[in-house]
Amino acid sequence: MKINEYLRVKTVEEAYHQMIQDPIDSYLIAGGAWTKLTIKEVQTLIDLQDVVKNHIEIKGHMVHLGAMTSLEQIAHSTLLDHHALVILKRAASIVMAPGVRNLATIGGSVMGKYAFSDIIPALLALHAILVFHKRGNVWLQDFLQEPKKDPDILLEVLLPIVPGVGYFHAMKKTALDFSIISVAIVKTNQRNTMVIGSRPGIANRCLQAEQLLNEADIIDEPFLEEVANKACSEVDFGTNVRASGEYRKQIAKVYVLRGLKEVYGL
């Protein structure tokens, strides 16, 4: 990489100040796992390693993940062994290999808005909240859909702790592949959340299917099949080198159904 200036900031405000001065040619680096693949030249590289937290803690009914928490930390955290939170562990533990996961951070995974991300579908299904330096709290779901905003710095990812169960599956050709499709489902007492990722567009919630499920009285296999069909008809699937849209749709349905059966114990 070609970097003209490297800045290891001492405060978040320092990083923010630097970034708004030159928003085009400044670049924030968290874990840096993918910078080599994405960035070739940068004027100022702003290193956040000293100012953004890299640990997981539980405060009240929320899990707080510092944005610099590595995916490998998440994959092994016992704090995430509760309820549907395990799907984040599962998603983190299949991102490439431990070496990359030691670099890759949850903050980088979110801010990159990578369409192939396994982390984003899990976070979406868990109703993650993003905590920014300036903007404060933003729902991940809103963040993914909004147009590009002014520069800001992600500090934390919050996950509400709600009793329930979860399912996560990402289909890959080999363990080091990017997902061809990923499915995240969370069932709590209040509501159900279903997300399909790697469509190959960025992860989407299946809101109509969720509603079907939320309003249902009797849940049996034919009904879950209907829900799975709905889920796969309301999101778009596209074709790229890895797989066709048609194939993605077919297997998304299979894995959504398998997930629903698992969370409903059928």
User: Could you give the CA distance from residue 192 to residue 170 in angstroms, rounded to a whole number?
Assistant: 19
Query: Does 5 participate in binding other proteins (rule CB under 8 A)?
Result: yes
Query: Does 49 participate in binding other proteins (rule CB under 8 A)?
Result: yes
**Only segment of 80-88, 186-194, 216-224, 251-259 that touches other proteins (CB under 8 A):** 251-259
- Give the sign of the dihedral formed by CA 242, CA 34, CA 151, CA 66: positive
User: Could you give the CA distance from residue 94 to residue 119 in angstroms, rounded to a whole number?
Assistant: 10
CB of 37 to other proteins, least distance (A): 6
Of the candidates 201, 196, 187, the one whose C-alpha atom is nearest the C-alpha of residue 251 is: 196
Q: Are 163 and 188 in contact (CB under 8 A)?
A: yes
Query: Does 96 participate in binding other proteins (rule CB under 8 A)?
Result: yes
Q: In sequence order, what DSSP letters do the residues of 42-82 get, joined into one string?
A: EEEEEE-TTTS---EEEETTEEEEETT-BHHHHHH-GGG-S
Of 183-212, binders to other proteins (CB under 8 A) are none
CB of 246 to other proteins, least distance (A): 9
User: Could you give the CA distance from residue 71 to residue 100 in angstroms, rounded to a whole number?
Assistant: 9
Query: Does 118 participate in binding other proteins (rule CB under 8 A)?
Result: no
**Only segment of 51-59, 83-91, 93-101, 205-213 that touches other proteins (CB under 8 A):** 93-101
Q: Are 254 and 224 in contact (CB under 8 A)?
A: no
Of 10-29, binders to other proteins (CB under 8 A) are 29
The nearer residue to other proteins, 35 or 211, going by C-beta atoms, is 35
The nearer residue to other proteins, 115 or 251, going by C-beta atoms, is 251
Query: Does 99 participate in binding other proteins (rule CB under 8 A)?
Result: yes
The nearer residue to other proteins, 130 or 224, going by C-beta atoms, is 224
**Which of 59, 146, 241, 265 touches other proteins (CB under 8 A)?**
241
| Rg of the chain on CA atoms, in Å | 19
Site string for other proteins, 26-45 (x = CB under 8 A): ---x--xx-xxx-------x
CB of 26 to other proteins, least distance (A): 14
Site string for other proteins, 59-88 (x = CB under 8 A): -------------x----------------
Q: How many residues bind other proteins (CB under 8 A)?
A: 42
184: Cβ–Cβ under 8 A, 6 or more apart, which residues?
87, 91, 121, 122, 124, 125, 166, 167, 168, 193, 194, 195, 197, 203
